[in-house]
Amino acid sequence: MKKILITGGAGFIGSHVVRRFVKNYPDYHIVNLDKLTYAGNLANLKDVEQYPNYQFVKGDIVDADFIDNLFTQENFQDVIHLAAESHVDRSISHPIDFVMTNVVGTVNLLNAARKLWKQNYSNHRFYHVSTDEVYGTLGEDGLFTEETPYDPHSPYSASKASSDHFVRAYQDTYGMNAVISNCSNNYGSHHFPEKLIPLAINNIKNNKPVPVYGKGENIRDWLWVEDHARAIDVIFHNAASGTTYNVGGHNEWTNIDLIRTLCKIMDRKLSREQGTCEKLITFVTDRAGHDLRYAIDSTKLQRELDWTPSLQFEEGLEKTVDWYLSNEEWLNDVTSGNYQTYYEGQYDNR
Ligand code: NAD
Ligand code: TYD
């Protein structure tokens, strides 16, 4: 049985990837390694935890000895690496956490894989899941391609850019079989409510202000998380060693248009008069170094591996709202305790 390590599987995207692999590939043994930080939640994987081909290991990728021992014991065939500190605002207040997990943690995994696989790199794949934020920001025109030079601006994107460079360096220096994908903003179920869409849904539901940074003119390219998980599946199985793919939804929205659309959906779902939820929109101080626009050209992935997004944004948003409204227990659990303290620190003086 092929044993595959998926890191960060208890997080938002990781849980969708783990679920997809466990259910679709019964002949793979999936090991989910996660530290269970504030963003990691095993409740995200309740529906697969009893599967015989699924195993959870709690651990920190920053701990090099632990990672080395785990690789030796488990003899992983391949790695799909998603574990990361992922929120830009947290990276502005605590950059070192991003250096440790995103850079040092990635290098620890590369070192352990290198030790285990050095006799035959070609049979073992190291798949690094990254972000379009490494490319920096776009003006009004243009799209990020795989050739766009790296130009990160936030501590988060700088740490992800650095980890991408290390993965490429291990490919070039040691001949490791590595692939990288850089994806645009994801949305969907199980998304921690510190990111724009789930935060807005939660606040609207509770009649709290919806904070929009600056004038809400920044643009993001939104992709349904299950389409990202499918892209990861396709790339993992079919990409040539050393390849990079951009993954995106061809779906650009200014933050304010997105929030207004969400408000209309929420008015309907919560049986409020149209226009009620929009009154909660509150413009707050802009994020420092706020990138203006992200937009991905995913032609290469479509042309070479026949991947396209499956869902229209309005349909995806509606499904997402439905999920949050019918999973109150999940939402209450993650919005209690630590999350509240963080939330107060972020927004009370904004
Ligand atoms: P997330 O914050 O929801 O989940 C991250 C997971 O990693 C959590 O389960 C957390 O417990 C775990 N983790 C954090 N530090 C760890 C450590 N030191 N050791 C082990 N586990 C640790 O993040 P996400 O949004 O699911 O993002 C997953 C990956 O995809 C990240 O690498 C991110 O950079 C990338 N990505 C995210 C997006 C997006 O829109 N969310 C877009 C493109 C790429
Ligand atoms: P976010 O979900 O944090 O993702 P990223 O910063 O990785 O793109 O933010 C998406 C956009 O929404 C970004 O332009 C910042 C903005 N934003 C707000 O306007 N208000 C908020 O409360 C948050 C969290 C984000």
For residue 83, the domain's CATH number is 3.40.50.720
Would you say residue 224 has pLDDT above 90? yes
What confidence category does residue 207 fall into, taking pLDDT thresholds of 50, 70 and 90? Answer: very high
Which of the ligands is closest to the CA of residue 290? 2
Six-digit token pair at 205?
A: 């539901």
Q: Is the CB of 185 under 6 A from ligand 2?
A: yes
Six-digit token pair at 330?
A: 């999940």
User: What was the pLDDT predicted at 202?
Assistant: 97
Percent of the chain with pLDDT over 70: 99
User: What was the pLDDT predicted at 338?
Assistant: 66
Which of the ligands is closest to the CA of residue 182? 1
Higher per-residue pLDDT: 343 or 268: 268
> Between helices 155-174 and 106-117, what is the axis angle to 10°?
20
Of 38, 48, 49, residue with least CA distance to 12: 38
Range of the domain at 173: 2-190+223-251+290-312
Q: Please, is 271 exposed, middle or buried when counting C-beta atoms within 10 Å of its C-beta (0-12, 13-18, 19+)?
A: exposed
Ligand 1 contacts (CB < 6 A) are: 7-8, 10-14, 34-37, 39-40, 60-62, 82-86, 101, 105, 129, 131, 160, 183, 185-186, 192
What contacts 199, CB < 8 A, 6 or more positions away? 193, 210, 211
CA of 197 to the centre of ligand 2 (A): 8
Which of the ligands is closest to the CA of residue 294? 2
Question: Which of 132, 164, 221, 226 is the catalytic position?
Answer: 132
CA distances from 20 to 102, 184, 302 (A): 24, 20, 20
Asked if residue 198 belongs to a domain, the reply is: no
User: What was the pLDDT predicted at 344?
Assistant: 78
What confidence category does residue 179 fall into, taking pLDDT thresholds of 50, 70 and 90? Answer: very high
Q: What is the pLDDT of residues 58-87, one digit of tens each?
A: 999 999 999 999 999 999 999 999 999 999
Six-digit token pair at 52?
A: 């015989």
Number of folded domains in the chain? 1
Asked if residue 88 belongs to a domain, the reply is: yes
- The lowest-confidence range among 210-214, 233-237, 328-332 is 328-332
What b/e readout covers 203-229, taking b as 16+ CB neighbours within 10 angstroms?
bbbeeeebbbbeebebbbbbbbbbbbb
Question: Which of 54, 127, 135, 156 is the catalytic position?
Answer: 156
pTM of the full structure:
0.97
Of 38, 37, 36, 56, residue with least CA distance to 46: 56
Q: What is the pLDDT of residues 26-36, one digit of tens each?
A: 999 999 999 99
| Nearest-angstrom CA–CA distance, 269 and 201 | 11
Asked if residue 321 belongs to a domain, the reply is: no
| Nearest-angstrom CA–CA distance, 294 and 303 | 21
CA distances from 273 to 58, 269, 279 (A): 46, 10, 11
User: What was the pLDDT predicted at 166?
Assistant: 98
Q: What is the pLDDT of residues 321-332, one digit of tens each?
A: 999 999 999 999
Asked if residue 268 belongs to a domain, the reply is: no
DSSP string, 9-67: TTSHHHHHHHHHHHHH-TTEEEEEEE---TT--GGGGGGGTT-TTEEEEE--TT-HHHH
| Nearest-angstrom CA–CA distance, 157 and 289 | 11
User: What was the pLDDT predicted at 219?
Assistant: 98
Asked if residue 333 belongs to a domain, the reply is: no
Asked if residue 118 belongs to a domain, the reply is: yes
Asked if residue 18 belongs to a domain, the reply is: yes
Asked if residue 143 belongs to a domain, the reply is: yes
**Atom in ligand 2 nearest the alpha carbon of residue 219:** 14
Would you say residue 341 has pLDDT above 80? no
DSSP string, 149-161: PP---SHHHHHHH
User: What was the pLDDT predicted at 339?
Assistant: 62
